[in-house]
Amino acid sequence: MAQILAIRALGWMAGEAPVWEAFLAASGADAGQVRAEAAQPHMQRAALAHVMREDDWVRACAQALGVPPEELVLAAARLEGRSGAHWT
């Protein structure tokens, strides 16, 4: 589920020019590379980590995907593994 949500978040980002451009700039990837690596764990982690940078992005992405914002946060933590679970 976390992987699917991350791929859906990538799709959402691609339709949000400011978010997408910021992701490409931060990741150093181009759109083709993102498409080619969307199924890879490192790209999924990067996508959700990027969405988590701004509360407004989390809310907008969650609304567009039809999930509660907390679901994105939990998916990001799952993809990060043990280091992604922050309970404080």
DSSP state letter for 28: -
Which of 55, 11, 49, 7 lies closest to 27, judged by CA?
49
Tokens 């989390």 — which residue? Answer: 58
Token pair for 53: 């940078």
pLDDT by 10s per residue, the chain, length 88: 899 999 999 999 999 999 999 999 999 999 999 999 999 999 999 999 999 999 999 999 999 999 999 999 999 999 988 654 554 4
44: helix, strand or coil: helix
